Structure formats: structure tokens, C-alpha cells
Amino acid sequence: MSLNIPSLEAPHKTTTTNYAELLSRYVQIPSISGNEKEAGRFWSDTCQKAGLKVQIFTDEQDSYNFAASLYPLESRKPNIVFINHIDVVPPGNSDAYKHPPFSGAIDNNEIWGRGAIDNKGMAVMQLGAVEKFIKLARTTELPYNITLLSVSGEETGGHKGAKVVSEQFLEILNPSVVFGEGGLGLPKVLSRNPDMKVFGIAVSAKRRLWLELKLGMNTSGHGSVTPHNYVVKEKIFAMNNLLEWERKLFFSKTTDIMFSSLGKLEGGIKGFILKNLRYFKPFLNKTLKRNEIIHSVLTNTITIIGVNTPAGPPNQIPQEISVILDCRLLPDIETNTFIEELKEVMDCKEIQFNIILEDKNAKASMPELFYSKMEKAIKDVFPGSEVIPIISPASDDNHFFRYHGIPVYGLLPVFMDISYMETVHNVNERLPLFALQQGIDIYAATIKNILN
């Protein structure tokens, strides 16, 4: 099918300015997880005014979820879904910001504030792209619907957002594919050619397993007479075992695809090693440990987030201690197997394991049809760039849809320096204006490639 699709040529200056102002206004409405409704209302009104058909799925203070589409969802067309989240993480130390966290300041061609990248900026890019097709959809019966799906609570596990939508509204949403968060385009990925723009599209993600490890012991309570064993001492021994644990490297079909694509681009000896990484396994662990990102996609990572004892004076021995672990498991690892392994390594039978949060184990989305449409879009916008499928070390809402067998591809469709990404969940979060336009262009080219 060939359609007369609007040209997606050079960025239009006024348009970029308008989208920057729109993002600025969206950032100015604080929407820390649990309080999404006001920002969500602003965003659904914006989509409606733009000419999209809005359907609100849930309308609660902490669970505002809606779809904004070219055609009403009742049309039952197969749907190309662009997911974004309304909520943001708390700003942290506001004094450390150059511009207040919810200022939405536009300074030096950057839009400042919490959510500017994660994830309100991405939502504006999606709207900017989908908007281009409204007129076409009115005059032509397109084979697909195109939907912006805005959800709550991504930062706290997605249970009030993507989970609700994927469990209760999947049929009406009818997604053929979901495009969400994940990788982005970066320089300096290839040592052979550091100027090469390499975009990583996430086809899978590690999953969260948040654990509380509790240890209780009845010992004497006075710090002046040290008991043989007491909770803090036992826990430190056990945690030490955990920290010294040499973790195994895991390879799967997805890691094979990722490293063989990277190896092909890299070429030479390094490329050969990357392509055949699993055969070099015995030699890899030490070398890879130095590369935190590669290491994180081949191992289950464990981060100790906090150690807590009940409040008391400095001379009182606590009877209870708990440790919080943020574990990120590779897609093929079972929770129970992993916990049993932890127990063995820590070697302290009295520790109780409680699961605080666990993401579902979802199969990777193989890089197929819709992946190739996005890949082509990236190359249309950035000729000479390369695209590889990756496993995202962070988890997001994507797994809720992968779990239902829907392909999900994760990409913040911009090419920018990693230093911008480091402001995400940090102070001085900001998005450069050029990135807004890039995002709109790549999303629009993706839609165009799908419709053609």
C-alpha cells in the first residue's frame, strides 16, 4: 500500500519552539508517582485539542491512564501504540538545581526540570509525530490506528499504570506493537569508529526483584557486654559473603543477538570476540567487571540499598535488622532459583527473605517487522548510523506488554551525549531542543514506514 504521507523534511523552527513550550508547561505540573492526575488531565486535554480521540481508562489521583488515538479505539483497528509515563521521581535536593525542579525553564536551548527527559519529553515527541498523521487519517482509511498511551506509576513499578492497562484494557487497545522507553543513540560505542552513531533498541529488559532480608535474634540488650552473636554482626558477615560472590555470566538468545550485532559493527579482533562472546566465557569475568554496562547485561546484579535497625540509643543492641536489596535479574532467571542461590551464598539460615516487588518474567521481543521499521526510520533520519538490539539494564513498563506476547521495542529516539542521560533521576534533568525535533522525526518516520 502506498500512501501520500506528509513530508518529514527539515525541522521546522516554529514547531520546535511550540513543542518546547508545551514540554515546559507539562514539566511545570509536578506529577511525582502517586499524584499523576493533574498533569495527566493537562496532557489528555492537550492530546484532545490536537485532534486525537481520547479514551480515559482510569481516572484516579494515583492512577490516571488514557489512550489518545487517530481513530476511536472502538474502530478495533490493529494499533501502533506509543507508551509514555506521566509520573516522575521526586526531585531530591532542590537547592542543588540550577533551575528549580519544576520550573520548566528554557535556557540555552535546553528545557529544564524533572521529567524533561524521563518521560514527558518522550511524550511530547510522540504527540509531535502522531499529530502529523491526523489529517491523513481523516481523509484515508489507514490500516492501523496509532495511539499515545499515557500511564501512571511507571517509576514505582507500573502497578497503577501499565499493569492495569495490560490486564484490563488490552482488548480494546488492540496493540500490534508497543514502542516504549529503552535505549537511545550514543557516540563512542565502537572503538573502531567512535564517531559512528549507534542506536540501541531494547528488545528485552532485566527485571526487578526487590528484596527485604530480615534477621531477628533474641540477645542481651546492653552494648556494654558483647554477645557472641548478634544481629548486626551476623548480618555483616552474611552481606560480606554476598559482596564477595563471583557471579556467573549468563548467555541467552537475546545476549547472543545483541553481542553478535555489536561485533559485526566493531569488526577486527574485538568484533570477533564480541560475536563469539560465549566461547570466551572462561576469560571474560574479570575483564567485563571493569565495563559496568556490559557486565550488567550478562549478570544478575545486586545493589544494597539500605540497612535498617529500629531506632534506639547507641548502647542498645538491636534485636532485628533488615537489608533492602535491589536485584536486577536477566530475563531467563527464575526468582526462586535466584533466592536459593542467595541463601546459599550468604550462609545464614535465620535470614528471612521477603519479596517487596517483582517484575513478571517476559520473553524478549525478537527484532522483527516493527523493529525493522524503526531501524529504517533511524537510518532515514541519521544516514550512516547503525542500530543494534539491546537488553536494557533498567526495567520499565515494557514487560507488562511483552508478557502478553506483544512485541515491544524500547528507544528514546534521540542521539545525544550520555551526560544528558546522567541527569535522569538526578539534579538538573534537562533535554536539549534539538533532541525534541529528532524524537519527533524518528517517531514520524517509524509511523510512515509502517503505513507504507
Number of alpha carbons in the 13 Å side-chain half-sphere of residue 43: 39
Strand ranges (E), 1-137 = 53-60, 63-69, 79-85, 106-107, 110-112
Using CA atoms, how far apart are residues 37 and 7, in angstroms rounded to an integer? 36
Nearer to Zn ion, 119 or 398 (CB): 119
| Of 118-126, 309-317, 368-376, 433-441: span binding Zn ion (CB under 5 A) | 118-126
For residue 122, the minimal CB distance to Zn ion (Å) is 8
Report which secondary-structure segment, H or E, holds 336: helix 335-346
Closer by beta carbon to Zn ion, 118 or else 266: 118
Between 119 and 395, CB nearer to Zn ion: 119
Nearest distance in Å: CB 101, Zn ion = 16
Instruction: Give the whole-angstrom CA distance, residue 20 versus residue 430.
Output: 12
Select from 70-78, 96-104, 115-123, 303-311 the region that touches Zn ion (CB under 5 A): 115-123
Q: Which of 151, 144, 149 lies closest to 179 in space, CA to CA? A: 149
Strand partners, 149: 67, 83
Q: At a CB cut-off of 8 Å and minimum separation 6, what does 229 contact?
A: 217, 219
| Type of residue found at 334 | E
Of 154 and 234, nearer to Zn ion (C-beta) is: 154
Count residues binding Zn ion (CB under 5 A).
2
Amino acid, single-letter form, for residue 201: I
Angle between helices 120-131 and 37-50 (to 10 degrees): 20
Gap between the Cα atoms of 245 and 251, Å rounded: 19
Per CB under 5 A, the segment of 100-108, 119-127, 243-251, 407-415 that binds Zn ion is 119-127
Q: Identify the helix (H) or strand (E) that includes residue 17.
A: helix 13-27
On whether the CB atoms of residues 313 and 235 are closer than 8 A, the answer is no
Q: Minimum CB separation from Zn ion for residue 37, in Å?
A: 19
Q: At its nearest, how many Å lie between Zn ion and the CB of residue 260? A: 28
Contact call for residues 277 and 315 (beta carbons, < 8 A): no
Candidate residues 119, 145, 395, 438; the one interacting with Zn ion per rule CB under 5 A: 119
CB of 18: closest distance to Zn ion in angstroms? 24
Binding flags for Zn ion, 70-109, as an x/- string (CB under 5 A): ----------------------------------------
CB of 186 or CB of 345, closer to Zn ion? 186
The least distance separating Zn ion from the CB of residue 88, rounded to whole angstroms, comes to 8
Write down the residue that cell numbers 489521583 correspond to.
61
Strands (E), 288-398: 301-308, 320-329, 352-358, 386-392
Least CB distance to Zn ion at residue 100 (A): 21
Query: In angstroms, what CA-CA distances link 301 with 214, 296, 370?
Result: 20, 6, 30
90 or 216: CB nearest Zn ion: 90
Closer residue to Zn ion, CB minimum distance, 128 or 153? 153
Footprint on residues 44-63 left by Zn ion (CB under 5 A): none
In angstroms, what is the minimal distance from the CB of 427 to Zn ion?
17
Interface pattern 123-142 for Zn ion (x via CB under 5 A): --------------------
CB of 125 to Zn ion, least distance (A): 13
The stretch among 5-13, 70-78, 114-122, 219-227 that binds Zn ion (CB under 5 A) is 114-122
69 binds Zn ion (CB under 5 A): no
Question: Which string of x and - marks every residue 225-264 that binds Zn ion (by CB under 5 A)?
Answer: ----------------------------------------
Q: How far is the CB of 344 from Zn ion (least distance, A)?
A: 35
Residue placing its CB nearer to Zn ion in the complex, 44 or 119: 119
* Minimum distance of Zn ion from residue 40's CB (angstroms): 15
Of 125 and 142, CB closest to Zn ion: 125
CA distance 367 to 370: 8
Name the minimum Å distance from CB 180 to Zn ion.
Answer: 9
31/299 with CB nearer Zn ion: 31
Distance from C-alpha of 182 to C-alpha of 202, rounded to nearest angstrom: 5
- Report the C-alpha gap between 368 and 183 in whole angstroms: 17
- Looking at the Cβ atoms of 55 and 119, the one nearer to Zn ion is 119
Assess 118 for contact with Zn ion (CB under 5 A). Answer: yes
Residue number, 120 or 373, with CB nearest to Zn ion: 120
How far is Cα 440 from Cα 450, in angstroms, rounded to an integer? 15
Binding segment toward Zn ion, per CB under 5 A, in 93-101, 116-124, 269-277, 310-318: 116-124
Closest CA to 132 of 452, 416, 450, 448: 448
Task: Name 416's Cβ contacts closer than 8 Å, sequence gap at least 6.
Answer: 184, 185, 432, 434, 435
Residues 405-434 that bind Zn ion (CB under 5 A): none
Sites of contact with Zn ion (CB under 5 A)? 118-119
